Structure 1
Amino acid sequence: MSETSPGAPPLSPGDAPKALLMDAADVGRTLDRLARQIVEHLDDDAEPADRLALIGMQTRGAHLARRLRDRIEAFEGVRLPLGVLDATFYRDDLRLGPLAPAVSPTDIPFDLTDRRLVLIDDVVYTGRTTRAALDALLDLGRPASVRLLAFIDRGLRELPVAPDLVGREVPTEPDERVRVRLTEEDGVDGVWLVQKTSSGAPHAPAETA
């Protein structure tokens, strides 16, 4: 774990940075490794409709999915189908605050039925977001299988959810957070460990990724 980098990282209100866990080079190397692990699951004899497809969870999971698709294409010459999923309305914590949830589009331009999916998220924590995503996917079709890829697994699970592919495991305390930041969304690539303070947004639902 490296020391916090100079300057102010692009964090959320109420975040007190504790350490820089991954810089841009680390992010790139980790994505390369994950892309090669996904390639191991490709079935060269499968028809195109039966190949793996990538599903990125909005918002940063979608950016990670696009980068992984591009890396797999560069490594193997195979461009996997890609969709993006927003599971906001399937979450079980919407009632925990009066603030209207931020919702991003779901765009899955292919039939999920009988596909082997890799569901991609930036951080897995309690498992509740993953449960919501699975509910959303099963409302859209009946995939043959779903593997979970977590760029960061910070532990502290509340539901029996276990990623199949993990970029990095980062054991955390309940009052800590792991912030993945990506150029497409934040202007920089990096992963920070932060302490959550009381100055964050009031009445917002608890984080249950």
Structure 2
Amino acid sequence: MQKKLILDTDLLDITISRLCQELIENHGDFSETVIIGMQTRGIFVADIIHKKLEKLTKKNIPFGYLDATFHRDDFRRREIPVKANETKIDFPIEGKRVVLVDDVLFTGRTIRAAMDTMIGFGRPQKVELLVLIDRKYTRELPIAADYVGKSVNTLTSQRVLVELEAQGHKQNKIWLINKD
């Protein structure tokens, strides 16, 4: 197995800062915006983005997380039953601009499931997608991110590994792994 470093700690911090600046440019005072992290790994990225945005804007921005397990189209196809994670959205999303955050955009199926899940909480005015890594050439559904940390050319056989301090790792790093 070969590992290639995509983003080290410093570059990841710069990337997240840039993403936050893009959000500030497009959302202004965030009065009509909510941030929702995707379970399981997207919540860590969303939390980092949320804290940095609140610090930069000095505003309280509604933040929650969403589990789309039961809306996935492969839910019943797995040999081992998937365990659901917690969904925590304790604010209205009706008429709001939702920034959905995940770590890696791969096939697009998880995002499709997330949008189906969100409808249970109201009809947002707009949904935007923010991802740290956009895996190009692997999309199975016509899903595209509005905010991308880094686009990476990948093969289906490869894997992107996001290691964050919030997950218990020593440093924030993102790797591309070849499963040779």
Question: TM-score normalized by structure 1?
Answer: 0.81
Q: Deviations over 1:47-73 (max 9, x none)?
A: x4xx21100001221111111111112
Structure-2 separation of matches of 1:68 and 1:43: 15
SS at match of 1:40: helix
Output the amino acid matched with 1:21: I
2:163 maps to 1:181: yes
Structure 2 residues without counterparts, runs of 5 or longer: none
Of 26, 30, 41, which residue of structure 1 is paired with 2:26? 41
Tell me which moved more, 140-149 or 35-44.
35-44
Tell me which moved more, 113-122 or 74-83.
74-83
Output the amino acid matched with 2:161: R
Instruction: Give the deviation of 1:83 after TM superposition.
Output: 0.7
Of 144, 149, 167, which residue of structure 2 is paired with 1:167? 149
Contact 1:17 1:192 in 2 (8 A): no
Of 58, 64, 75, which residue of structure 2 is paired with 1:94? 75
Structure 2 counterpart of 1:24: 9
SS at match of 1:157: coil
Structure-2 separation of matches of 1:64 and 1:18: 21
Determine what percentage of the aligned residue pairs are the same residue: 40
Output the amino acid matched with 1:196: K
Higher strand share: 2
State the aligned residue count.
Answer: 178
Q: Which structure: larger Rg?
A: 1
Output the amino acid matched with 2:25: E
Of 85, 91, 105, which residue of structure 2 is paired with 1:104? 85
Instruction: Give the deviation of 1:139 after TM superposition.
Output: 1.9
SS at match of 2:26: coil
Contact 1:113 1:141 in 2 (8 A): yes
Structure 1 residues without counterparts, runs of 5 or longer: 1-15, 198-209
Structure 2 counterpart of 1:132: 113
Instruction: Give the deviation of 1:95 after TM superposition.
Output: 2.4
**TM-align CA RMSD:** 1.4
Question: TM-score normalized by structure 2?
Answer: 0.93
